[in-house]
Amino acid sequence: MMMMANELPEDLVTLILLWLPVVSLLRFKCVCKSWYALITHQNFVRKHLLHNKNSNTHLLLHTFNKAMDDYVVYMISYEELQISLTQPLPPPFFGNGDTFCISVVGSCNGLVCLHEKRLHNTVKVVVWNPTTKETKVVPKSNLPLFAPAEYCTHIQSMGFGFDAKTNDYKIINFVSMYEPIWDYFSEDINEKICQKEVYSLSTDSWKKVDGPQCFIFEEVPMTYITGMGSWLAYVDYVSQRDLFVLSFDISDEVFLKTPLPDNVIGQDLLVLNESNAVVAPRTVDEEWPEVCYDIWLLLKVGVKDSWTRLFTIEQSFAKIHRPLGFWKNDTMLFSNVDEGQLVLYDPSTKQMTNLQSHGDCESMQLVTYMETLVSVEGGNEFEDQDNC
């Protein structure tokens, strides 16, 4: 076939290359200088991302694999729910084994943010593009430097997302500082200083942001929905605990609180139909220890009245360890206790399907993921304003 690519105007080359998967584009970077320049250009990267947004959704399952004695990620095709690829974590982590605890902070436009902890101390934060295999180690936060003398600092929770206004990726840290004489587990807000800071990938630096004094449930990962990160948070008072969803607008860097519905004890926060959903256990019968799970959907962030109870999952399957996410038609993905397997549950038919991934239920995390060329070196400035 004679394509005469050297005679093809660049905009036509762009048109054709936009359809290609990332692996092919990585290959074509090696063809010649002009193709290299085109494929690595920020505008092409962005166009390619938008062009493939609806046809390129995967689920990324992060878990500890006992056979491999290390953390792995499984790429799962969204449509068929089949594992298309299993890969170890990138070099900064590889081979660390079970000494450390590594979790996924978030996944956005093909970048995955990973957080490595030892006990309660943050060891490393890395931004990773699993498809291009690029990684970047995020510099350490400088908030601890400003903590009162002798105070301990601890990153309670983190977030990761995209700021469409400045074409930048940001990480949010929820830091708590406390005097060592207080128990780490103390939940009296007056004994701790809670601070927040934001890291920008393009400036490669941290800055402090103001926000409400509260605690984040450390074991509940953030949700990310178009420019907004959310966490399950609480403040304890003498007689009661206030539970709410704390949301952060990644572009405007402002926080929003949405109280949970009255008497609802949220256990997990997940994304359902592009909205936040809370999974809340409820006792069915006071004489019987069985619980069921209510799924509450938050239609509008910041509006308590917009919570809607969607459906209830009965506790007919005791082996479910933890809900991990929703799939099509309100079906849910769980981790199960026995094998550390990923299980699909359909509430309408009460059917369960085992998806044959081998992991460990404690460490399992599920995020949506798409293959992109987005660089871990951060979004450059826009060179032009076209938004196509």
Partner 1 sequence: MSSSKKSRIVKFKTSDDKTFEVEEAVAVQFETIKSMIDYVCANDCTIPLPNVNAKTLAMVVEWCKKHADERDQLMEVDVDEAPGAVLYDLLVAATYLRVEDLIHRVSQRVSKMVIEIGKLPEEEDVRKTINIKSDFPPQVEEELRKLRRTLGPLSDVLVLFVSSGLLE
225: which 2 tokens? 């929905």
Which of 17, 112, 250, 364 forms a contact with partner 1 (CB under 8 A)? 17
284: which 2 tokens? 């069915």
User: Three-class SS of residue 186?
Assistant: coil
CB of 127 to partner 1, least distance (A): 14
Neighbours of 76 (CB within 10 A): 23
Closer residue to partner 1 in complex, CB, 89/198: 89
Q: Is residue 152 close enough to count as binding partner 1 by CB under 8 A?
A: no
Which of 23, 68, 85, 254 forms a contact with partner 1 (CB under 8 A)? 23
R_g (Cα) of the chain, nearest Å: 22
Which of 53, 133, 300, 350 forms a contact with partner 1 (CB under 8 A)? 133
Burial class (CB in 10 A: 0-12, 13-18, 19+), 285: exposed
User: How many residues line the site for partner 1 (CB under 8 A)?
Assistant: 33
Return left, alpha or beta for 358; rule: phi > 0 is left, psi -120 to 50 is alpha, else beta: beta
CB 154 within 8 A of CB 121: yes
Which range binds partner 1 by CB under 8 A, 61-69, 89-97, 130-138, 278-286? 130-138
Closer residue to partner 1 in complex, CB, 31/254: 31
Which range binds partner 1 by CB under 8 A, 129-137, 210-218, 229-237, 298-306? 129-137
Q: Is residue 388 close enough to count as binding partner 1 by CB under 8 A?
A: no
CB of 25 to partner 1, least distance (A): 8
CB 248 within 8 A of CB 225: no
| CA 82/CA 382 separation, integer angstroms | 37
Please give the residues from 24 up to 63 whose contact with partner 1 meets the rule CB under 8 A.
Answer: 24, 26-36
CB of 348 to partner 1, least distance (A): 34
**Of 365, 370, 267, 258, the residue nearest 307 (C-alpha):** 258
C-alpha angle 235-196-128 in degrees, rounded to nearest 5: 120
CB of 12 to partner 1, least distance (A): 6
Q: Is residue 11 close enough to count as binding partner 1 by CB under 8 A?
A: yes
In the 8-state DSSP scheme, what is residue 202?
T
| Contacts by residues 26-32 (CB-CB < 8 Å, ≥ 24 positions apart) | 26/132
**Site of tokens 């304003």:** 385
**Site of tokens 């599920």:** 366
CB of 29 to partner 1, least distance (A): 6
Which of 81, 100, 103, 134 forms a contact with partner 1 (CB under 8 A)? 134
Q: Is residue 380 close enough to count as binding partner 1 by CB under 8 A?
A: no
Which range binds partner 1 by CB under 8 A, 22-30, 191-199, 317-325, 379-387? 22-30
Q: Is residue 21 close enough to count as binding partner 1 by CB under 8 A?
A: yes
Which range binds partner 1 by CB under 8 A, 3-11, 57-65, 243-251, 291-299? 3-11
Point out which residues bind partner 1 (CB under 8 A): 1-6, 8-9, 11-12, 15-21, 23-24, 26-36, 132-134
